[in-house]
Amino acid sequence: MVTILIVGAGKSSTFLIESMLKFTQRKSAPWKVIVADSDEESLKNKVKHFPNGEIAVFDVTNERERQALVKRADIVLSLMPPHLHILLAKDCLQFHKHLITSSYVSDEMKELDKAAKEAGLMFLCEMGLDPGLDHMSASLLFDSIHRVNCEVISFKSYCGGLVAPESDDNPWHYKFSWNPINIINAGKDGARFLEGGTPIEVGYHDMFAHEKHITCEGVGDLAYYPNRDSLDYIHKYNLHYVKDFMRATLRHPDFCKGWNALVAMGVTDNAVLHDTAALTEEEWIKTVVGYDNTNISLRDFTFDKYDIRNPQIQKMIDWLGFFTDTRLNIGLRSSGEILLDVLKQKWAMKPEDKDMVVMQHEVEYAHPEKSEICKLKSSMVVVGDDNEHSAMAKTVGLPMAIAAELLAFKLIKPLHGVIIPTNAEVYKPVLNRLEKKGLFFNEVVKS
């Protein structure tokens, strides 16, 4: 019997958990699936219809509880917050288990590469949507281009979790379909990318100020901002002659304009703590923006101080309730944490709401001995079924589930060490199965 341990039952876990549990119903697949999380209600809701599923309510930081579960597993799949993957990784190393995660490879995880190789283990990271599906679909394009003796000279990859048009009913054009904390932290570490052969660095306070736009077929105009350190992937993608290279996040254009205003106001900062016990949203904003002119309203003062003249942006900030006497009372919190609490209420998806995932690659390539440049656009649009069966959950969870199935049935040979899915041995069978489940890319080539 193969035992799969899934750690994490949050917003993005539904398709992963259901896919793994459905495998257990096959007579040819005597599997046991253990789903572990601290939220017992969430666990019960996701596992209740499957007889071969087992829930485990536990604290992932509790070594005894965590290791007891890892010992029972053959493969561990982690949907925990990124900083907690390392706890499971060290246990997997100790008890000789393969590991699959959806998050970026951390420096701590990189340090386990040699030990994982020596132990003959595969720690497959960045195996979700972005990162994950972006790596696999891009690698397929690059390998196809290289096979015809051409070189990639420009690569730009965009991805965003958005609200579907039929559920878009607020001025921010956004609702939470994944871990909300990621919105607050987006861009805080700045970004690096390649433009015209020159490395470009963008700091947090400039990240959303000059957003650029792309057109996505079937979706329309979207804004983007650069995502983390793109330069790190040039070598991983084996692109020796590239002049432009960027990985970016997609949002509605109004979102970027509004978020840029919030960054300027300082409400995304985590440096200073506020006692919210007797604090209203208005009083919090007064402190953050340094309200010192009682001759005008707080609203007018704020918009004047930060030069917020656009009526649409003003409407978006008004909609958040910043200038009202709504009580906070959430304890000692930073501005970023207060904002997150406000947004969780404002940007919550209703049960019937649908989200949308958009991914688009734009590639330019040429033969070394020819002047002609070919342009390729590859795009994928996925709309969720409802709040629980979201496009985000589908595109994050299915790649992990398929990789685990292939590994368990020995349909892929485990590549040893800490890896990401840029190897054809991994991405080809995973992409083939994803296509059968309706996740595929449309390609357009122009010379």
Average pLDDT, the chain: 93
Its pTM stands at 0.93
pLDDT in tens, 368-421: 878 889 999 999 999 999 888 999 999 999 999 999 999 988 899 889 999 999
Question: Under CATH, which number does the domain 266-346 receive?
Answer: 1.10.1870
Contact predicate 284/328, CB 8 Å: yes
The 3-state secondary structure of 170-213 reads CCCCCCCCCCCHHHHHCCCCCEEEEECCEEEEECHHHHCCCCEE
Cα 375–chain centre separation: 27
Across residues 36-63, what is the average pLDDT? Answer: 88
Instruction: Quick: pLDDT tens for 306-351.
Output: 999 999 999 999 999 999 999 999 999 999 999 999 999 999 999 9
Residue 57 in this model has a pLDDT that exceeds 90:
yes
Residue spans of the domains in the chain: they are: 2-128+391-439, 133-253+351-387, 266-346
What integer pLDDT is reported at residue 28 of this predicted model?
Answer: 63
Q: Assess whether pLDDT exceeds 70 at residue 185.
A: yes
Burial of 104 (0-12, 13-18, 19+ CB in 10 A): middle
pLDDT over threshold 70, residue 65: yes
At the topology level of CATH, where does 133-253+351-387 sit? Dihydrodipicolinate Reductase; domain 2 (3.30.360)
- Looking at domain 2-128+391-439, does it have CATH number 3.40.50.720? yes
Please say if the pLDDT value at position 211 is more than 80: no
- Four-point Cα dihedral 62, 67, 69, 70, nearest 10: 130
Q: Are 234 and 197 in contact (CB under 8 A)?
A: no
SS3 358: strand
In whole angstroms, how far apart are CA 81 and each of 180, 197, 227, 250, 369?
11, 34, 18, 22, 47
Q: Which two tokens stand for residue 297?
A: 């309203």
Read off the pLDDT band of 27 (50, 70, 90): low
